[in-house]
Chain A
């Protein structure tokens, strides 16, 4: 395997959310852990790691920079949200959405991030309206291409058409590897079984996922099989856990600023059973991707009912996998 590449390793602090939520890890602990694995590019869900957003007190921001410096890490990406449903009776209007995104661009600059993850519900026109400010600040906007969306989905096609027309190199993509869920995640399956899913229907859903049957059809089939509420909930997950071809990223590589290296678990053999990183990383190397692989552990919510969550161990395992696949070891 070729190992000539410029891919960098990082961690989204989303990965340690469970420990942060329970006050078992501080922001400094999270940065120290990631940097200790050589994953020095730090991505942050700011409304998780700071308080008072968007008016985060200066001492918190100073603490962030001090912590990064102390551990030899650096800010990489700020994950923004667009609260279009701020008001119960109406959605934000265009000007309000633009103001919200501009606020996030300025916040990203304040915490030293050159990349902003644009949440996928953000209308492309809003992103386009913010291009001049993004260029002025030199902060890049990357829409999160997140399952059930994918690069050929009409919403993403529209985003591509409108943003590409600006000619700006400050607008692009942050693909989430959840759209490459090749195998149904075992942590999902096991949780639904614990919740009372019918084993025969679980098996049917697994086979349907493997055969890429349209989720709407699977739902109709399992209803006919006498599905209970949990079975239906499991069938619904097929809508949001798609498989698309990672090679599709090659065409978009110049505009891919960051990769959300989503994972549900890294098993004892060091592999992610659902998302085939051994297929994905060679594509990134082939395409000359030079941004970060940002670990995003999302298994905690699927095991917390029955097992101890250990975000640190899971991130460590994924980073070990990255080192192997990137030719660092």
Chain B
């Protein structure tokens, strides 16, 4: 559900501080979820898997590692809300065209399985302004 809408259009970019790159991500589900239900946000760039420990998740000014999400029982990823998903990768992505995939795995209480929904987007990264 909402597969092609997970990656917010035009949102893939290098972070201003040069520490990595990020994208805007929406929850692929029909209701907001408590963050502990977000089991994984698996990213690949140009076919290469991003290590889970390099991923940070930010909503409403709060930043979590994916492991920290698993024990967050109050804060939520709201329906349709654009979260920032950041990859810690010094220097960010090199300038040019990249293919980015974001796959979100959710633990839905009434389903016996944890659905995975994925989205792939092409993004042009500009050379850094120095």
| Cβ–Cβ contact B2 & A14, under 8 A | no
Q: Tell yes or no: B34 within 8 A of A by CB.
A: yes
| Cβ–Cβ contact A47 & B26, under 8 A | no
Distance, CA A48 to CA B80, complexed state (A): 8
Cβ-defined partner of A85 (8 Å) among B2, B26, B37: B37
| Cβ–Cβ contact B5 & A20, under 8 A | no
Say how far B121's CB is from chain A's closest CB, in angstroms.
Answer: 15
Nearest A residue to B28 via CB reads A21
| Cβ–Cβ contact B31 & A81, under 8 A | yes
| Cβ–Cβ contact A120 & B78, under 8 A | no
| Cβ–Cβ contact B76 & A82, under 8 A | no
Q: Tell yes or no: A304 within 8 A of B by CB.
A: yes
Distance, CA A290 to CA B2, complexed state (A): 35
Distance, CA A47 to CA B107, complexed state (A): 16
Cβ-defined partner of B36 (8 Å) among A18, A21, A47, A87: A87
Q: Which of A14, A85, A87 has the most CB of B within 10 A?
A: A85
Question: Which chain B positions have C-beta within 8 A of A305?
Answer: 3-4
| Cβ–Cβ contact B79 & A47, under 8 A | yes
Say how far B34's CB is from chain A's closest CB, in angstroms.
Answer: 6
Quick one: CB contact mask for A2-45 with B, threshold 8 Å, 1 for yes?
00000000000010011011110000000000000000000001
| Cβ–Cβ contact A51 & B78, under 8 A | yes
Cβ-defined partner of A45 (8 Å) among B1, B2, B31: B31
| Cβ–Cβ contact A304 & B109, under 8 A | no
Q: How many chain B residues touch the partner (CB < 8 A)?
A: 25
Chain B stretch 49-98: residues in CB contact (< 8 A) with chain A = 70, 73, 76, 78-81
Question: Which chain B positions have C-beta within 8 A of A20?
Answer: 79-80
| Cβ–Cβ contact B109 & A84, under 8 A | yes
Beyond A119-B110, A121-B109, whether A48 also contacts B4 by CB under 8 A is: no
Distance, CA A87 to CA B72, complexed state (A): 9
Distance, CA A14 to CA B32, complexed state (A): 13
| Cβ–Cβ contact A21 & B107, under 8 A | no
Say how far B44's CB is from chain A's closest CB, in angstroms.
Answer: 20
Distance, CA A304 to CA B36, complexed state (A): 28
Q: Tell yes or no: A88 within 8 A of B by CB.
A: yes
Question: Which chain B positions have C-beta within 8 A of A81?
Answer: 31, 109-110
Chain B stretch 1-56: residues in CB contact (< 8 A) with chain A = 1-5, 26, 30-34, 36-37, 39
Question: Which chain A positions have C-beta within 8 A of B76?
Answer: 51-53
| Cβ–Cβ contact B109 & A82, under 8 A | yes
Question: Which chain B positions have C-beta within 8 A of A51?
Answer: 32, 76, 78-79, 81
Distance, CA A211 to CA B33, complexed state (A): 39
| Nearest 3 interchain pairs by C-beta | A47-B31, A121-B110, A21-B80
A–B Cβ pairs within 8 angstroms, 20 of them = A21-B5, A21-B26, A21-B79, A45-B31, A47-B31, A47-B32, A47-B79, A51-B32, A51-B78, A52-B76, A52-B78, A53-B32, A83-B34, A83-B109, A85-B37, A85-B107, A86-B37, A88-B36, A121-B109, A305-B3
Sample of 4 further A-B pairs with CB below 8 A, known A17-B30, A21-B5, A49-B79: A21-B26, A22-B5, A45-B30, A86-B109
